[in-house]
């Protein structure tokens, strides 16, 4: 059985060698029959096949996190303990470090005591001022104010006395005229009357002054009440306490987001003010690239991007344009960077996960402007224009065992830096197309002795991009 298998293998090898020799012999005979210019033309052909045509812009970029948070502290308390290391994954709210707050806690206790005493005193003062004002107002509204009552009584007495003295004086003037009283008695009644007038005027003035004083006392009592209310409601000390309590809460340094600790600047025993940690989302990555001004007009949000990096080898990762800067790149001071070619910051989101990419890596990007699958595409030099202005290509056929160049009219579509999409009647998979159409005449593999214009056909070379 083993010998039979060996003989079978030998037979297969012999048959294979015979086929190879036959092919080589056929090629040699064909080459001898079509030597010279025909062989030159046939050596410059490509086989037409459907392919993927991609028009893209190549740029480079740097991997960054889509969400980076720098963790700062404004407190000068010393760092007591650090709970994480670079590379640790954390969730929002996780404790990163604590500060030494022994002195702060004493300040808080003192402020609480001060606030408590102040509130008690303010409340007591408020009650006193409120009672004083309410009593004064009640007395004033009901006519019970002692000073006013006394002043009014004095005025009433002075008024009665004045009336009496006036009547006596008037009567005495009649009696004196009739001879019933002496002049001395008349003068004395007049003096008494004038004194009563003076007393009455003083009583009137005193009542007016007393009214003003009582009203002022009421206004002062009302103002004192309002001041007491303001003092009781004053939250200055409460705010001071809240600031201290906030400092105590802030002494617990926590992660602001889910991510990875990528840098630690905090040191145990050193002041906790300034930059302490950097937390980055290492799962959701973006790439920052700078696109030249002559390309930026072709870039749009949502365009797909292929990504390659040294760390990923030949693996193509997928991305998408998510942001295009409205202005060209600026310096650290905010000034536009002046150069012969402006650049615009463009951000690409990495769509794949578990890519092996790390923040800070350099990448090579292809921003896809246009893409077509399953189309015929030829190099620029394979397409030219005939005398009628129609796009044409040259197909190489075999008639009577001789190569024949045939002109085919085609339509053109999408273009890249090197290829042009073509379609039209007569195109088929695998057909041979001349790679360089310049100076070729239909039907003549060598181009003919007549040159490019033979037979009335004008051959125009397409400019290469």
Summarize pLDDT for 159-173 with one digit per residue, the tens: 999 999 999 999 999
Say what the pLDDT of residue 442 is. 52
Provide the whole-model pTM. 0.59
Strand pairing category for 402-409 and 362-379: unpaired
Q: Does residue 311 contact residue 358 with C-beta atoms inside 8 Å?
A: yes
Statement: residue 46 has pLDDT above 70: yes
Say what the pLDDT of residue 437 is. 82
Burial 6-34 (b: 16+ CB within 10 A, else e): eeeeeeeeeeeeeeeeeeeeeeeebeeeb
Outline which parts of the chain fall under CATH 1.10.287: 105-242
User: Kindly report the CA angle at 342 between 58 and 294, in degrees rounded to 5?
Assistant: 50
Average pLDDT across the chain, whole number: 85
Statement: residue 25 has pLDDT above 50: no
The region that residue 371 occupies, defined by phi over 0 for left and psi between -120 and 50 for alpha, beta otherwise, is: beta
Fold held by 105-242: Helix Hairpins (1.10.287)
Say what the pLDDT of residue 363 is. 96
Of 397-401, 431-435, 449-453, the one with minimum mean pLDDT is 449-453
Mean pLDDT to the nearest integer, 79-98 = 96
How do residues 205-244 score in pLDDT, each as one tens digit? 999 999 999 999 999 999 999 999 999 999 999 999 999 9
Say what the pLDDT of residue 438 is. 76
Mean pLDDT to the nearest integer, 448-452 = 37
How do residues 275-286 score in pLDDT, each as one tens digit? 999 999 998 999
Q: Does residue 318 contact residue 307 with C-beta atoms inside 8 Å?
A: yes
- Cα 189 from Cα 329, distance rounded (Å): 110
Taking Cα atoms as reference points, which of 366, 347, 350, 368 lies closest to residue 358?
350
When pLDDT is cut at 50, 70 and 90, the band that residue 340 belongs to is confident
- Cα 46 from Cα 418, distance rounded (Å): 14
**Domain 68-101+251-280 in this protein, CATH class:** mainly beta
Please classify residue 98 by burial: count the beta carbons closer than 10 Å to its beta carbon, then call 0-12 exposed, 13-18 middle and 19+ buried: middle
Measured CA distances, 398 to 24, 439, 445 (Å): 18, 20, 11
Q: HSE-up of 61 (CA within 13 Å, CB side)?
A: 33
Helices first, then strands: H and E counts in the chain: 7, 20
Location of structure tokens 């004095």 = 154
Outline which parts of the chain fall under CATH 2.40.50.100: 68-101+251-280
- Cα 42 from Cα 46, distance rounded (Å): 9
Question: Which range is most confident: 18-27, 90-99, 143-152, 395-404?
Answer: 90-99
Say what the pLDDT of residue 336 is. 77
Q: What percent of the chain has pLDDT over 90?
A: 71
| Edge-to-edge strand ranges of the sheet holding 259-264 | 68-73, 274-280, 259-264, 89-90
How do residues 254-267 score in pLDDT, each as one tens digit? 999 999 999 999 99
- Cα 259 from Cα 67, distance rounded (Å): 9
Statement: residue 27 has pLDDT above 60: no
How do residues 111-155 score in pLDDT, each as one tens digit? 999 999 999 999 999 999 999 999 999 999 998 999 999 999 999
How do residues 294-332 score in pLDDT, each as one tens digit? 999 999 999 999 999 998 888 999 999 999 999 988 877
Residues 6 or more apart whose CB falls under 8 angstroms from that of 272 comprise 73, 75, 76, 77, 78, 79, 97, 99, 251, 253, 266
- Cα 72 from Cα 253, distance rounded (Å): 9
When pLDDT is cut at 50, 70 and 90, the band that residue 333 belongs to is confident
Query: Would you state the torsion angle of the CA atoms of residues 254, 256, 258, 264, taken in this order, to the nearest 10 degrees?
Result: -60
SS3 200: helix
When pLDDT is cut at 50, 70 and 90, the band that residue 6 belongs to is very low
How do residues 349-392 score in pLDDT, each as one tens digit? 999 988 889 999 999 999 999 999 999 999 999 999 998 999 99
Statement: residue 412 has pLDDT above 80: yes
Statement: residue 195 has pLDDT above 80: yes
Statement: residue 28 has pLDDT above 70: no
DSSP 8-state secondary structure symbol assigned to residue 62: E
Say what the pLDDT of residue 390 is. 93
């Amino acid at each position: 059985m083993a010998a039979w298998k060996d003989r079978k293998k030998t037979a297969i090898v012999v048959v294979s060698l015979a086929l190879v020799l036959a092919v080589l012999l056929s090629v040699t005979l064909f080459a001898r029959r079509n030597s010279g210019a025909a062989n030159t033309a046939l050596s410059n052909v490509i086989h037409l096949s459907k392919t993927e045509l991609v028009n893209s812009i190549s740029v480079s970029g740097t991997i960054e996190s889509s969400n980076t948070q720098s963790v700062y502290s404004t407190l000068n308390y010393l760092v007591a303990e650090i709970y994480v290391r670079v590379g640790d994954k954390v969730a929002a709210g996780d404790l990163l470090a604590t500060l030494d707050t022994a002195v702060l806690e004493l300040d808080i206790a003192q402020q609480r005591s001060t606030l408590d005493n102040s509130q008690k005193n303010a409340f007591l003062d408020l009650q006193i001022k409120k009672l004083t004002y309410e009593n004064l107002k009640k007395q004033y509204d009901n006519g019970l104010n002692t000073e006013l009552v006394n002043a009014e009584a004095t005025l009433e007495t002075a008024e009665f006395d004045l009336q009496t003295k006036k009547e006596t004086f008037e009567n005495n003037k009649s009696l004196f005229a009739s001879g019933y009283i002496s002049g001395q008695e008349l003068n004395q009644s007049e003096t008494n009357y004038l004194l009563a007038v003076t007393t009455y005027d003083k009583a009137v003035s005193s009542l007016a002054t007393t009214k003003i004083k009582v009203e002022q006392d009421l206004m002062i009592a009302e103002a004192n009440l309002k001041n007491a209310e303001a003092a009781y409601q004053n939250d200055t000390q409460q705010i001071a306490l809240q600031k201290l309590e906030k400092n105590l809460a802030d002494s617990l340094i926590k992660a602001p987001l889910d991510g990875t600790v990528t840098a630690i600047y905090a040191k145990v025993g050193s002041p906790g003010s300034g930059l302490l940690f950097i937390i980055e989302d290492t799962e959701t990555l973006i790439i920052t690239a700078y696109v030249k001004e002559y390309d930026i007009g072709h870039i749009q949000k949502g365009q797909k991007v292929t990504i390659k990096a040294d760390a990923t080898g030949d693996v193509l990762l997928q991305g998408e344009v998510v942001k295009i800067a409205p202005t060209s790149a600026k310096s650290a001071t905010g000034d536009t960077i002046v150069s012969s070619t402006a650049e615009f910051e463009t951000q690409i989101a990495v769509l794949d996960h578990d890519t092996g990419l790390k923040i800070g890596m350099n990448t090579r990007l292809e921003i896809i402007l246009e893409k077509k699958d399953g189309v015929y595409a030829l190099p620029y030099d394979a397409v030219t224009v005939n005398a009628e202005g129609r796009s044409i290509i040259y197909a190489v056929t075999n008639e009577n065992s001789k190569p024949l160049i045939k002109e085919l009219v085609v339509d053109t579509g999408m273009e890249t830096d090197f290829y042009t999409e073509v379609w039209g009647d007569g195109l088929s998979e695998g057909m041979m197309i001349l790679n360089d159409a310049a100076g070729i005449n239909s039907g003549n593999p060598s181009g003919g002795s007549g040159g490019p214009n033979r037979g009335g056909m004008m051959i125009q070379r397409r400019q290469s991009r």
